[in-house]
Amino acid sequence: MDYREMAAQSENALLNETKPQYRSDGRVRRDEYRGQPKEVWKGVQADVLAQNEDKKVRAEAEKQEDLYIDSVMNNNRSLLVAAEREKGRQYKALGESIIGENAALLNPKKNERPDASMDTDEYFKFYGTSTR
């Protein structure tokens, strides 16, 4: 073989594995990664399972907290609705009383009976009957 042919073959990435196995940041290139020993990935698996369990516990705690906050907010909302209803009832009663007062002031003689001070027996004797 010629030295030029040998040099070309030694630099050819398809014919040998002389290409760099590490990137510029020091990490192994993806196509050069061959995995880790079983003890290492079993340890990593245990760590990941523990992380997943912690994540589930945290999610359940957040869910319970959200449910509690929702129940408090629902209770507050129902109290506010009840207060608004009571305020509406009071407003309606006030309006009705004002209307009644205005009607009484409009014609004060209307509600006065001439015989309001009479005894009922005395009142009904004019009609030929009694209270019984």
The number of distinct structural domains making up the chain is 1
Name the residue range of residue 34's domain.
Answer: 19-108
| Any domain includes 124 | no
Quote the pLDDT of residue 111.
Answer: 58
In a domain, 122, yes or no: no
Cβ pair 73, 67 in contact under 8 A: no
Q: Could you tell me the pLDDT band of residue 62, with boundaries at 50, 70 and 90? A: very high
Structure tokens, 83:
């207060």
5 occurs within a structural domain: no
Residue 54 within any structural domain of the chain: yes
Give the Cα separation of 70 and 62 in Å (integer). 12
More confident: 101 or 67: 67
Torsion angle of C-alpha atoms 6, 12, 14, 16, degrees rounded to 10: 60
Residue 131 lies in a domain: no
Residue 126 lies in a domain: no
Q: Residue 99 CA to chain centroid, in angstroms? A: 44
User: pLDDT tier at 10 (50, 70, 90 boundaries)?
Assistant: confident
Is the predicted pLDDT of residue 56 greater than 90, yes or no?
yes
CA 67/CA 116 separation, integer angstroms: 64
